[in-house]
Amino acid sequence: MYECIINPSSHSGRGGALWKELRARFEATHIPYRVHMTDGPGAAIRTVRALSSEYEKKEEPLRLVILGGDGTLNEAVSGITDFSRVLLGYIPTGSSNDFARGAGLPRDPRALFKPILAGRECRRIDVGRLVYHRQTKTLSRLHDESAENVRHFVVSAGIGFDAAVCEEALSSGTKNFFNRIGLGKLTYGAIAMKHLLGADWIGIEMTIDDGRTIALDHFLFAAMMLEPYEGGGFRFAPDADNRDGFFNICLIGDMSKPRMITSLPLAYLGKHYGLPGIYHYRTQSVRIRTALPMWVHTDGEVVMKSDDIELTCLHQALSLMI
């Protein structure tokens, strides 16, 4: 049995069209499946959590197929209660597709149908776990319900500027416009420039697993990367490997806004390390405290602001069928 989580509206409807093709493959090969359509923020988390509970009583693993963007994938991963019981297949249909890019998935998502239908483990990847040690009442525009204090992710998590960009992009008319004309990746660049010009500089204290504490009086953002890309192709961690058990952290601060604007294109190319004000760390865990609550994202999904978060890398916790 396959449990298929479908976001039919991803990439302005592309998800629904690809699902019709995959469904035809299931029916042609007589492979049993159930379909679960998402209908808004939090739907995939609730569905996968219910399925995880159901499959606790079964001998077979939970074979999950996620058809959607990075956000749908993030919700599904956050809903898994026992990673050892799951085989996951993913068909990217979003506008940014940072997971697919970083994991080296084929450009044509139809090429993923065959390995998914084979139903076997192809590889294992790391999963990030984020704990909000302090929750605020400031929730994202698309998450107006009470939020839990733990979130999982497979691409990256961030606090500060990059999360603020994601928060606006999630409910932005700009994103819908660019998606319609096939240029969805430009959403993040356009919103990023706006936030750079208006960003507040806040203090940060970051403690990594070797005991070091890094403090900056003014920081823009910290990105904890499992894969090289986030934000629609910005290569913030060129050396990140989603199977090595480590975060690659990109911390940016103590830099003028004009210099940050000129550095942004270099980050897209992965050529930003070594510039003044850009710092790189490799760690299995990190605790971050900021002077004021700031937006936090996991795989581009923003739930709330916080000023105290802790992140841990779960080494090769998730089995993929792709």
Confidence (pLDDT) at 178: 47
Confidence (pLDDT) at 188: 63
Which of 13-27, 98-112, 120-134, 299-313 is predicted with the least confidence, judged by mean pLDDT? 13-27
Cβ(170)–Cβ(142) below 8 Å: yes
Please report, for residues 26, 120, 216, 232, the alpha-carbon distance to residue 242 in angstroms, rounded to integers and kept in the order given: 30, 19, 28, 18
This prediction has a pTM of: 0.91
Strands (E), 77-187: 86-92, 123-132, 150-153, 156-160
- 3 state SS of 321: coil
Task: Report phi then psi at 230, rounded to 5.
Answer: -150, 170
On the question of pLDDT at 109 being above 80, the answer is yes
Q: What is the pLDDT of residues 228-272, one digit of tens each?
A: 999 888 899 999 999 999 999 999 998 887 887 788 788 889 999
Domain ranges of the chain: 2-126, 128-316
Question: Who has greater pLDDT, 156 or 138?
Answer: 156
Q: How many CB atoms lie within 10 A of CB 92?
A: 30
Rounded mean pLDDT, 91-105: 91
Which of 12-26, 54-68, 71-85, 94-108 is predicted with the least confidence, judged by mean pLDDT? 12-26
| CB-based burial, 134-156: b 16+ in 10 Å, e otherwise | ebeeebbeebeeebeeebbbbbb
- What is the rounded distance in angstroms from the CA atom of residue 104 to the CA atom of residue 267? 19
Q: What is the pLDDT of residues 28-68, one digit of tens each?
A: 999 999 999 998 888 999 999 999 999 998 999 999 999 99
Question: Who has greater pLDDT, 197 or 181?
Answer: 197
128-316, CATH topology level: Tumour Suppressor Smad4 (2.60.200)
- What is the rounded distance in angstroms from the CA atom of residue 284 to the CA atom of residue 307? 20
Show the tokens assigned to 183.
């240029």
Confidence (pLDDT) at 168: 83
Q: How confident is the model at residue 189 (pLDDT cuts 50, 70, 90)?
A: low
Q: Do domains 2-126 and 128-316 have the same CATH topology?
A: no
DSSP 126-138: EEEEEEESS--S-
Rounded mean pLDDT, 192-210: 83
Q: How confident is the model at residue 185 (pLDDT cuts 50, 70, 90)?
A: low
| CATH top class, domain 2-126 | alpha beta
